[in-house]
């Protein structure tokens, strides 16, 4: 399927949708994809706070290496 054919198919599918929530969701997904292409990743306040918390934990030495986490998971799965 070519890009043109795919766009036509998507347009036809969108034209058949009357649910506002579904259309808003589709619109938001397109917006996010376009932002992603530009290297922009918008974050909400909760996401920013979570990142700041994680950075503070690292600064306080409160972290576990990937290797140690993998070992813990393997031990947990054996139980």
Question: How many CB atoms neighbour CB 67 within 10 A?
Answer: 8
pLDDT confidence tier of residue 37, bands split at 50, 70 and 90: confident
- Phi/psi for 65 (5° steps) reads -70, 155
Is the Cβ–Cβ distance between 23 and 14 less than 8 Å? yes
pLDDT confidence tier of residue 19, bands split at 50, 70 and 90: very high
Question: How many CB atoms neighbour CB 40 within 10 A?
Answer: 9
pLDDT confidence tier of residue 59, bands split at 50, 70 and 90: very high
pLDDT of res. 31: 86
């Amino acid at each position: 399927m070519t890009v043109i054919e795919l766009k036509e198919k998507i347009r036809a599918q969108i034209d058949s949708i009357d649910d506002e929530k579904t259309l808003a969701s589709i619109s938001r997904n397109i917006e996010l994809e376009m932002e992603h292409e530009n290297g922009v990743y918008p974050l909400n306040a909760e996401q920013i706070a979570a990142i700041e918390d994680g950075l503070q934990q690292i600064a306080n030495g409160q972290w576990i290496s990937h290797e140690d986490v993998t070992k813990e998971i393997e031990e947990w799965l054996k139980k």
